[in-house]
């Protein structure tokens, strides 16, 4: 086994240190055996994380599972220094062997999108069920402890009722799992926040009171600003277009309010291009997050939320190395000098 050695300023502590990689683990104790130095200087981050990505679609416009596209898209994540991914909804099954591949990002899945049968309209890729409680518990047990619920879908439709969401959340928590909730309407976000889900995804119409509810329940906020920032300015001046634009403005306000209230804000890109979490970090900063918090949202904070140890003794051997401090120069996240994944140099 080749022992790897890296030297640099370790974030988030900003401490100059030497670390060694033994297999898939990190140690700060110098091994007796010789090591290969693969980074000398620069800034060492726990590998980047995208907590909301849906690889495997044939295209942004077509909800069709494509295993070859999935492999290409997670490779794009990896090549950008993104070493861990959470999938809150996949259209199909991960190809055999790919999840455990030595050069594949670590994957945390939540199964398929679960839609309550009472929603007025459901997209083809939603799994519609009358028994949302049983379906959610089954998905959480089968997929890394997470399930994904549609808290709402159509702007004009009633969201999933609070009592249904609360029953689902209580049952999943009792089974040791966690709930991610897609929410875009004001009523949908409010119901999910009151129900105590573990992460709110998007939150376009989020009322201000939801911030306190998320803080009280320990929920994370994943605004996925990247696709909304791209789409909102291009929407036509129609009632739906105005909803998109106003929703984007609401999300920008709530990001900073959530952080100020102690809510964990995390980085998720939600759409193509893949390997683009650096853009989400930039949007979080533009929304008012301190730069160190925004970088952490795509690195050490996200890893902690997902249960993936960072650059600590015995931590997982995922390291990205940069020439400059991304907390002061966030654009450097687009240009990793070295990427170590699962204890192997992949760049």
> CATH code at 162?
3.20.20.140
Residue 315 belongs to domain with CATH number = 2.30.40.10
Residue 145 and residue 274 in one domain: yes
Please report the pLDDT score of residue 62 as a whole number.
Answer: 64
Check whether residue 56 and residue 194 sit in a common domain: yes
Please check whether residues 237 and 337 belong to one and the same domain: no
Nearest to 147 by CA among 228, 88, 72: 88
List Cβ neighbours of 298 (8 Å cut-off, separation of 6 or more). Answer: 48, 49, 50, 266, 267, 277, 278, 280, 281, 333
Q: Please provide the size of the chain in residues.
A: 347
47-83 pLDDT tens trace: 999 999 999 986 656 678 999 999 999 999 999 999 9
Are 270 and 319 part of one and the same domain?
no
Structural domains counted in the chain: 2
Q: Is 337 helix (H, G, I), strand (E, B) or coil?
A: coil
The Cα–Cα gap between 305 and 266 comes to 9
Specify the DSSP class assigned to residue 47: P
Strand partners of residue 16: 9
Mean pLDDT, rounded, of the chain: 95
Residue 85's CB is within 10 A of a number of other CB atoms, namely 27
Please check whether residues 19 and 102 belong to one and the same domain: no
- CB-based contacts of 61: which residues, under 8 Å, 6+ apart? none
pLDDT for 332 beyond 90: yes
For the segment 153-201, what is each residue's pLDDT rounded down to a tens digit?
Answer: 877 778 999 999 999 999 999 999 999 999 999 999 999 999 999 999 9
Using pLDDT thresholds of 50, 70 and 90, give the confidence band for residue 136: very high
Do 167 and 300 fall within a single domain? yes
From CA 59, how far away is CA 133, in angstroms rounded? 31
Tell me the C-alpha distance between 298 and 278, whole Å: 8
Edge-first strand order for the sheet with 338-341 is: 25-27, 15-22, 4-10, 36-46, 319-322, 338-341, 344-345
Claim to verify: residue 136 and residue 8 sit in the same structural domain: no
The domain of 113 spans 48-306
Query: Are 212 and 328 part of one and the same domain?
Result: no
What average pLDDT does range 138-151 have in this prediction?
97
Q: Look up tokens 């993104």; give the residue.
A: 82
DSSP state of 316: B
Pair 248, 262 in one domain: yes
Cα angle value 336/222/316 (rounded, 5°): 45
Residues 290 and 200 in one domain: yes
Please check whether residues 234 and 315 belong to one and the same domain. Answer: no
Lowest mean pLDDT among 31-45, 238-252, 312-326: 238-252
- Location of structure tokens 């966030």: 330
Minimal CA–CA distance to 180: which of 107, 97, 305, 88?
88
Beta carbons of 318 and 292 less than 8 angstroms apart: no
101-110 pLDDT, tens digit per residue, is 999 999 999 9
Residues 1-36 have pLDDT tens digits of: 899 999 999 999 999 999 999 999 999 999 999 999
Strand-pairing partners, residue 269, are: none
The verdict on 40 and 90 lying in the same domain is no
Percent of the chain exceeding pLDDT 70 equals 99
Find all residues with CB under 8 Å of 179, minimum gap 6, and list them: 136, 140, 146, 147, 149, 168, 169, 172, 173, 197, 198, 199
pLDDT at residue 1 in the model: 83
How far apart, in whole angstroms, are the C-alpha atoms of residue 53 and residue 326?
A: 22
- Report the candidate in 337, 296, 292, 335 with the shortest Cα–Cα distance to residue 41: 337
């Amino acid at each position: 086994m080749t022992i790897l050695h890296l030297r640099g300023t370790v974030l988030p502590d900003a401490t100059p240190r030497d670390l060694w990689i033994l297999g898939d683990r990190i140690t700060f104790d110098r091994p007796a055996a010789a090591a290969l130095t693969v980074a000398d200087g620069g800034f060492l981050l726990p590998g980047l994380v995208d907590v909301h990505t849906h690889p495997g679609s044939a295209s942004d416009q077509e909800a069709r599972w494509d295993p070859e596209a999935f492999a290409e898209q997670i490779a794009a994540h990896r090549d950008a220094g993104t070493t861990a991914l959470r999938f809150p909804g996949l259209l199909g099954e991960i190809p055999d062997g790919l999840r455990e591949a030595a050069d594949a990002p670590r994957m945390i899945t939540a199964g398929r999108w679960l839609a309550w049968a009472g929603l007025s309209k459901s997209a083809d890729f939603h799994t519609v069920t009358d028994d949302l409680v049983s379906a959610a518990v089954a998905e959480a047990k089968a997929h890394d402890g997470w399930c994904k619920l549609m808290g709402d879908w159509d702007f004009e439709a009633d969201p999933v009722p609070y009592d249904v969401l609360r029953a689902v959340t209580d049952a999943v928590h009792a089974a040791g799992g966690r709930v991610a909730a897609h929410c875009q309407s004001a009523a949908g976000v409010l119901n999910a926040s009151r129900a105590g889900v573990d992460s709110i995804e998007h939150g376009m119409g989020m009322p201000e009171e939801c911030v306190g509810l998320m803080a009280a329940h320990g929920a994370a906020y994943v605004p996925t600003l990247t696709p909304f920032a791209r789409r909102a300015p291009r929407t036509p001046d129609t009632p739906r277009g105005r909803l998109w634009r106003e929703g984007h403005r609401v999300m920008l306000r709530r990001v900073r309010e959530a952080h100020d209230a102690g809510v964990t804000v995390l980085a998720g890109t939600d759409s193509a291009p893949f390997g683009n979490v650096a853009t989400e970090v930039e949007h979080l900063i533009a929304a008012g997050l301190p730069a160190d918090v925004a970088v952490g949202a795509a690195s050490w904070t996200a890893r902690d939320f997902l249960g993936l140890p960072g650059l600590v003794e015995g931590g997982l051997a995922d390291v990205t190395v940069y020439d400059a401090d991304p907390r002061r120069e966030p654009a450097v996240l687009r240009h990793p000098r070295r990427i170590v994944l699962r204890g192997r140099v992949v760049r």
